[in-house]
Amino acid sequence: MVMLVILVAYKPVDRLFEIQKNLDIFATLYKEINTYYVDEVNPNTIIKVGIDAMLNSLDPYTNYIPEDEIEDYRTMTTGQ
């Protein structure tokens, strides 16, 4: 009975709030690292590592292909 109440109470708006809250945390952490980390950090590298880690947590087949690699990917997959 308690489980049913929890599931009914969880609305799509709550999900969007959680997504936004976590994106805010990520952005804050990203800014803090770029500002205060002892060594210089390449922003593109840490974002790519974050994206790759997120997708790897889903399954081994889901990948992100950056815009600058899309032509190579198309050639590799279609031969054109």
In a domain, 3, yes or no: no
Q: For the segment 46-73, what is each residue's pLDDT rounded down to a tens digit? A: 999 999 999 999 999 998 998 999 999 9
Residue 50 lies in a domain: yes
In this prediction, residue 12 has a pLDDT band, given cuts at 50, 70 and 90, of confident
Asked if residue 71 belongs to a domain, the reply is yes
Domain assignment present for 5: no
- Domain-located, residue 7: no
Distance between CA atoms of 42 and 35, rounded to whole angstroms? Answer: 12
What is the rounded distance in angstroms from the CA atom of residue 66 to the CA atom of residue 45?
12
Quote the number of domains for the chain: 1
Note the helical H segments in 1-80: 2-9, 12-36, 43-56, 70-78
pLDDT digits (tens, 9 = 90+) for 34-44: 999 999 999 99
Structural domain of 54: 13-78
**Residue 40 domain-assigned (yes or no):** yes
Rounded to the nearest integer, the mean pLDDT of the chain is: 87
CB 66 within 8 Å of CB 47: no
The answer to whether residue 68 sits within a structural domain is yes
- For residue 49, is it within any domain? yes
Q: Largest alpha-carbon pair distance within the chain?
A: 57
